[in-house]
């Protein structure tokens, strides 16, 4: 049995806030401020450039990667950290296309996160060799996996609705057709049990600022199946992906590990915060966390539907088919969400009409879920959202 949930004492959450947006940006772990201060004042300030060696900065990306590996069912050494999720998507896609040089189709779905699709389009335009991106509806993906497909690139948990692809089923279909498989775990890591080893997928990528609570702009990660690592030819052959960076060789020679998937200088302050944030997972069993997440989301759906007939469930009703979020469609979702946020219930909005609510059992309990539903009822039933101030659009929704 894993550690008891929730573990609110490990987080710094503002008084009076019911935070249902951990699927977009996780909350601040209590140890993060002290760790960041230590890195800035004592390591950078006190040790200067020596800290790359004396404070272990150079080894930090691999160490953090190994901790993330434990949360996604991967072995030590299979996960590299750094850069952004978009960069990691580009790396995985470019490597996958090289693995299937005679094929010209990248298959995703039309519910995938836009940045993943943008990176695919940019890569296609850069290569300029007749590649195409196909994006069927999520339910049609399996039928679209043909022998024309070089790589299947999907996000396991849909960012709008929380709908989940079946990792095993899709990966097996991709491999049966001779395609490479890439999973985006942005809404999976730290939210649902993941077993990359069992999946046999070649690649997975993800961010760490959502359920892993690494902070805004926290480094991304990329997983490569151990048996293919030494055959990968990185499209972004950065200095720190070299086998011996400080040999200062003129030609690129990739590292003999996932280190070859590193690109630029690691963001040490952010990596240190992430390293500290990952400590909240010590002793947590992902099966227990998943069960707690389902209990919270089921309570939320029942409470909201009983109180707000004008909201329509946009997420799968079967909890086994959705991640750790619940989305409701409402024509006036944007102003309604702004009214909720002002009242201390923080979720977010995604166009055109989706109100998203994330469930993070590390710091949420049943009483908060019921209270959130009561506040939602007030905002919807009393049409609080009609106030013009809630209709002014911010850059971030």
113 given a catalytic annotation:
yes
Catalytic residue among 223, 348, 356, 363: 356
**Distance between start and end Cα atoms, the chain:** 38
Catalytic residue among 131, 159, 209, 357: 209
42 given a catalytic annotation:
no
Catalytic residue among 88, 163, 210, 350: 210
All residues at 6 or more sequence positions from 172 whose CB lies less than 8 Å from its CB, including other chains: none
356 given a catalytic annotation:
yes
Dist. CA 183–CA 152, nearest whole Å: 8
Structure tokens at 295: 């209990």
Of 280, 239, 246, the C-alpha closest to 260 is 239
Query: Nearest 10 degrees: CA dihedral of 215, 217, 219, 223?
Result: 100
Dist. CA 113–CA 226, nearest whole Å: 27
* 174 contacts 108 by C-beta, under 8 angstroms: no
Question: Backbone dihedral region of 144: left (phi > 0), alpha (psi from -120 to 50 degrees) or beta?
Answer: alpha
Of 207, 257, 252, 205, the C-alpha closest to 232 is 257
Catalytic residue among 83, 109, 184, 348: 184
Dist. CA 220–CA 40, nearest whole Å: 21
All residues at 6 or more sequence positions from 28 whose CB lies less than 8 Å from its CB, including other chains: 11, 12, 13, 213, 215
19 given a catalytic annotation:
no
Catalytic residue among 11, 19, 113, 357: 113
Residues with catalytic roles: 113, 184, 209-210, 356
């Amino acid at each position: 049995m894993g550690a008891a949930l929730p573990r609110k004492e490990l987080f710094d959450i503002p008084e009076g806030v019911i935070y249902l947006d951990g699927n977009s940006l996780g909350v601040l772990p209590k140890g993060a401020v002290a760790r960041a201060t230590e890195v800035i004042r004592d390591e950078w300030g006190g040790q200067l450039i020596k800290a790359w060696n004396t404070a272990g900065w150079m080894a930090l990306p691999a160490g953090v990667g190994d901790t993330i590996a434990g949360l996604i069912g991967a072995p030590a050494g299979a996960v590299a950290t750094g850069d952004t999720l978009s960069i990691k998507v580009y790396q995985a896609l470019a490597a996958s296309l090289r693995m299937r040089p005679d094929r010209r189709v990248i298959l995703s779905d039309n519910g995938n996160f836009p940045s993943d699709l943008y990176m695919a389009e940019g890569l296609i335009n850069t290569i300029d060799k007749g590649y195409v991106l196909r994006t069927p509806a999520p339910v049609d993906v399996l039928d679209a996996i043909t022998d024309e497909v070089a790589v299947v690139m999907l996000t396991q948990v849909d960012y709008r609705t929380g709908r989940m692809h079946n990792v095993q089923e899709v990966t097996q279909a991709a491999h049966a057709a001779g395609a490479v498989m890439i999973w985006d775990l942005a809404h999976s890591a730290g939210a649902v049990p993941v077993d990359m080893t069992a999946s046999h997928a070649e690649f997975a990528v993800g961010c760490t600022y959502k359920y892993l609570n690494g902070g805004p702009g926290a480094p991304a990660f990329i997983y490569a199946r151990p048996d293919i690592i030494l055959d990968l030819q990185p499209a972004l052959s950065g200095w720190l992906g070299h086998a011996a960076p400080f040999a200062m060789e003129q030609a690129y020679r990739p590292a003999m590990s996932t280190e070859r998937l590193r690109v630029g200088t690691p963001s040490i302050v952010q990596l240190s915060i992430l390293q500290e944030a990952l400590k909240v997972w010590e002793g947590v069993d992902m099966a227990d966390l998943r069960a707690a997440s389902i209990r919270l989301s089921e309570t939320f759906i029942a409470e909201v539907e009983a109180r707000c007939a004008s909201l329509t469930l946009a997420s799968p009703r079967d909890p086994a088919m959705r991640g750790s979020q619940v989305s409701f469609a409402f024509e006036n979702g944007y102003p309604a969400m702004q009214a909720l946020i002002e009242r201390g219930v923080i979720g977010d909005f995604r166009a055109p009409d989706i109100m998203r609510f994330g469930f993070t059992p590390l710091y949420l309990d049943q009483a908060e879920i019921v209270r959130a539903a009561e506040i939602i009822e007030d905002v919807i039933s009393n049409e609080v959202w009609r106030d013009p101030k809630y209709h002014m659009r911010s850059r971030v929704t």
